[in-house]
Every structure is written in structure tokens, then in C-alpha cells.
Chain A
């Protein structure tokens, strides 16, 4: 990707400004800031209900320098489609000259669960939009409930670890694969392990004609029970342990963005967070669940490798 110069980026004011009320060390504002760093065109942002929307638009203040519209949990995909279509129609009548880009944000609650049908519809209709899911693997805005993105064995307030149950029992769904199944021009998965990865992927998604989807894993210090300062380190562990593979699919062609050099067991990633603390109790280490997490990660990695190989054939 050419034309990316960090020094030049510092001279631009980002769409998300200071003074938003996200928690200290939250990964979501970092992801949103990085996402827009490489984009030069004017943008319109739609935010589904969620931490990002609630904390960046505390009435009567707004932390957005660009037109921002808050919609309900379930319809960010529909709202961004409508805005894009309206712009297209008005542009046809000569009311707009600029090339405006349309970006929707949703958390994993608003994307994996509640907003899935609106997102699916937007992707299927082929609007020229970018949908970014900042995925912190649970409903953080309402108090750490489990979502369809919460990984197996994680302790959330509606799937708490206790004497009977070891946290969430089910595996998360793979939304990036669901988006790929729509056969859209660009799908990517990334996290905060390397700022350039987020910047280039979102830039590419926004510049792609047609629908694009980017799934960004962001840590929530409160739910993941990590030190707020560790956001980049935990994301690096997620990538290195293959828990969260970073890859992109452009026009059906898979590309792995980063392949971990040395093998890091998923145990290291789980151990770094308090939401898995019940697996590592001194007198009762749940090796069965740790091994099952490793098996899931290995199977997911093999599946991805197969898809990469078959797309390059």
C-alpha cells in the first residue's frame, strides 16, 4: 500500500477527537483512530449502539469531527446503506461533487448478534460501504454479558465461572467467515498488534468499490481483566498464539497478513487475562479446557491455511 506516511498523518486531525469518555486503555478508540489515519476522502460515519457510540457522543457533546449518526443496535448496516443510496441519488442530480466514503461502526454485540441481518442485507445489496466491527468479545456497554463473539471458557456476567460451569460453554461464531460467504470484494480480520495493519486494511476496505467488512479484535480492560496499559501486548499474544489470525480476502483471494514465527501456545494468551483465571486455579488447573482451546485454535488455523492454499491455486 503506497501513500502511507505516518509523519504526514500526524498533521491531519482525525475524525475522532479528544475528550471522548471511553475507559482508559480501551482498545476501541485506538482502533477507530488508527482506522481513519490513512483515509483522505471525506467520510460519513454511522455508529450502532455500543460503547463507542455511547462514550463518544455523550449529550450535548460529540467527539466526532465528521458527520456522525447514531442508530439502534440492529440497524447500522441498514442506515449506512440508506445514506449511501441517498448520496448516490443526489450525486446523480448534481447536488454533490465530492467522493464521500461511508463507514459504519458496530461492536460485536451490534454486529455478531443484533445487527447481523442488517449487515448481511447491506453486504448482499452491494452498497459502496465499509463496515467495521470493533470486537471486544462481549456486551461491554451494559456490563460484560456474553455475546456470540465471546470465546469458549471466558467468564462473562451471563456465563459466569463458578462451581458448576467453567464460563461460556459454546464456541464463538466466525463472523469474518460469514462475511466472506457473501462474496464481497474485501473482507479482513485484524487487531491492535501492529498499527500499520489496521491502517492499511481499513484504507483498502474504504477504497474498495462495493461493500467491505473489517473485523478488529480490541481488548476491553474491564471484561478481559487486563492491565489497561497492556492492550498492544495482549493483541500481539492473540496473533502469535493463532487465537486471532490476521488475514484479508480481496476478490476471493486469501492472504495471511502475518504468520507467527515461533509457536506460542494459546495457554499464554489465556493466562494473560483475568476472564480465564478460573482455568488456572492453583489446585485445580483445567487442563482439559486449555487443551480444548488449543485444539479449536489449531483446527481454525488449519482451515484457514486450506482456504489460503485453495484460493491461490
Chain B
């Protein structure tokens, strides 16, 4: 099942009650978001406070442990990161401001479900 994409019907569901590890990574919880955290890279000092506090593990970091951005496929827009940021580098903006932005709602090249739903 892992890597096969979102399950479409009951026949896709594996028998028994064993689920495979980390398969929830196929679920786009970013669809819930009404406010979007916007990272100002110039202000960010990579203290990792947002990374430590994010309930959804949506803060992305590079190999030097510097904050690179926010994974909008999973980010639910709770705003915890903006509140704990000591540098004021994250601001919360209404998700509706981003409807025209192409292909940004999701990870990778796919526009993601949010994009499809709102016709972006």
C-alpha cells in the first residue's frame, strides 16, 4: 500500500487490521488550513523553536539543521510556530490570499488537492 497513493475504494484496503508504518504521510492534512504561516527567511535565525513545537512536524530543515520552510502538504495552520518564534520571522496570513498562487499548496510538482478543489 505504501507509496501507492490515496486509497480510492474499499477493495484497496488491505485485509486484516494491520496497517503499514508511516502511511499517514499520504494524507494531505494541509487541506484543513485556513491561516498560512509565511516564513521570512531574512529574519529567521534557525533557533529551531518552531521545529520543536510544531505538532505536525511540518517545519522542514536542511542537513545543517537550518529551517528551510514549511511543508504545506501537512501544515494545519494552527499558528504555534508564529507564536513561539523569538525573531518574529513567521507571520500568519489568510489562506485565501494564496488561492491564485500556482502549485504551491502541495509538495513536489503536483498542484495537490487544495489546488484542484479551488481551481488554482
* Chain A residues within 8 Å of B, Cβ to Cβ: 6-8, 10-11, 14, 16-30, 33-34, 37, 56-66, 68, 192, 195, 227-233
Q: Is the CB of B78 within 8 A of A229?
A: yes
Cross-chain contact of A17 among B13, B25, B77 (Cβ < 8 A): B25
Q: How far is the CA of A7 from the CA of B1 in the complex (A)?
A: 33
Q: Is the CB of A228 within 8 A of B79?
A: yes
Cross-chain contact of A61 among B19, B53, B92 (Cβ < 8 A): B19
Closest Cβ neighbor of B79 among chain A residues = A229
Q: Chain B contacts of A65 at CB under 8 A?
A: 21-22
Q: Chain B contacts of A63 at CB under 8 A?
A: 22, 24
Q: Is the CB of A29 within 8 A of B55?
A: yes
> 1/0 per residue B44-67: CB within 8 Å of A?
000011011111111001011100
Q: How far is the CA of A22 from the CA of B77 in the complex (A)?
A: 13
Query: Which DSSP category, helix, strand, loop or mixed, fits chain B's interface?
Result: loop
Closest Cβ neighbor of A30 among chain B residues = B55
Q: How far is the CA of A18 from the CA of B24 in the complex (A)?
A: 7
Shortest distance from the beta carbon of A233 to any chain B beta carbon, whole Å: 7
Closest Cβ neighbor of B64 among chain A residues = A7
Q: Is the CB of B53 within 8 A of A25?
A: no
Q: Is the CB of A66 within 8 A of B21?
A: yes
Q: List 28 A-B contacts (CB under 8 A).
A: A6-B48, A6-B51, A6-B52, A11-B63, A17-B25, A18-B74, A22-B55, A24-B33, A24-B55, A24-B76, A25-B55, A25-B76, A25-B78, A29-B56, A33-B57, A37-B52, A60-B7, A61-B24, A62-B19, A62-B22, A64-B21, A68-B21, A192-B53, A195-B53, A228-B78, A228-B80, A229-B80, A232-B83
Interface centre among A7, A26, A65, A229 (most CB of B within 10 A): A229
Cross-chain contact of B57 among A18, A60, A228 (Cβ < 8 A): A18
> 1/0 per residue B16-51: CB within 8 Å of A?
010111111111110011000000000000001101
Closest Cβ neighbor of B49 among chain A residues = A195
Closest Cβ neighbor of A56 among chain B residues = B24
Q: Is the CB of A61 within 8 A of B23?
A: yes
Cross-chain contact of A60 among B14, B21, B55, B63 (Cβ < 8 A): B14
Q: How far is the CA of A18 from the CA of B26 in the complex (A)?
A: 9
Q: Contact size class for B?
A: 35 or more
Q: Is the CB of B55 within 8 A of A27?
A: yes
Q: How far is the CA of A233 from the CA of B82 in the complex (A)?
A: 12
Q: Chain B contacts of A34 at CB under 8 A?
A: 52
Q: Chain A contacts of B84 at CB under 8 A?
A: 232
Q: Is the CB of B80 within 8 A of A60?
A: no
Shortest distance from the beta carbon of B20 to any chain A beta carbon, whole Å: 7
Q: How far is the CA of A64 from the CA of B22 in the complex (A)?
A: 5
Closest Cβ neighbor of B51 among chain A residues = A10
Interface centre among B19, B51, B55, B61 (most CB of A within 10 A): B55
B90-118 interface (Cβ within 8 A of A): 92
Shortest distance from the beta carbon of B52 to any chain A beta carbon, whole Å: 4
Interface centre among A14, A34, A195 (most CB of B within 10 A): A195
Q: Is the CB of A62 within 8 A of B23?
A: yes
Cross-chain contact of A19 among B19, B24, B49 (Cβ < 8 A): B24
